[in-house]
Chains A and B, each alone.
Chain A
Amino acid sequence: DAGITQSPRHKVTETGTPVTLRCHQTENHRYMYWYRQDPGHGLRLIHYSYGVKDTDKGEVSDGYSVSRSKTEDFLLTLESATSSQTSVYFCAISDSGGNYEQYFGPGTRLTVT
Chain B
Amino acid sequence: DAKTTQPNSMESNEEEPVHLPCNHSTISGTDYIHWYRQLPSQGPEYVIHGLTSNVNNRMASLAIAEDRKSSTLILHRATLRDAAVYYCIRHNNAGNMLTFGGGTRLMVKP
With A99-B32, A99-B49, A99-B91 as given contacts, are A45 and B97 in contact (CB-CB < 8 Å)?
yes
Interface residues contributed by chain B, number (CB under 8 Å): 23
Docked Cα-Cα span, A104 to B44, in Å, equals 6
Query: A51-71, CB under 8 A of B: which get 1 and which 0?
Result: 000001011000000000000
Tell me the minimal C-beta distance from B43 to chain A in angstroms.
Answer: 3
Residues of chain B with a CB closer than 8 A to A31's CB: 96
With A42-B102, A99-B32 as given contacts, are A50 and B44 in contact (CB-CB < 8 Å)?
no
With A42-B87, A99-B91, A101-B49 as given contacts, are A59 and B43 in contact (CB-CB < 8 Å)?
no
Docked Cα-Cα span, A105 to B43, in Å, equals 6
With A90-B43, A107-B42 as given contacts, are A102 and B49 in contact (CB-CB < 8 Å)?
no
B97 contacts A104, C-beta separation under 8 Å: no
Residues of chain A with a CB closer than 8 A to B102's CB: 40, 42
B96 contacts A50, C-beta separation under 8 Å: yes
Residues of chain A with a CB closer than 8 A to B87's CB: 42
A99 contacts B93, C-beta separation under 8 Å: yes
B93 contacts A103, C-beta separation under 8 Å: no
Residues of chain B with a CB closer than 8 A to A56's CB: 96
Closest-by-CB residue of A relative to B45 is A104
Residues of chain A with a CB closer than 8 A to B92's CB: 98
B96 contacts A97, C-beta separation under 8 Å: yes
Residues of A86-100 contacting chain B, CB below 8 A: 90, 92, 97-99
Docked Cα-Cα span, A90 to B100, in Å, equals 13
Residues of chain B with a CB closer than 8 A to A33's CB: 96
- Chain B residues at the A interface, C-beta cutoff of 8 Å: 32, 34, 41-46, 49, 87, 91-103
New A-B pairs, 5, CB < 8 Å, besides A92-B44, A104-B44: A48-B96, A101-B49, A103-B46, A107-B42, A107-B43
- Chain A residues at the B interface, C-beta cutoff of 8 Å: 31, 33, 35, 40, 42-45, 48, 50, 56, 58-59, 90, 92, 97-99, 101-107
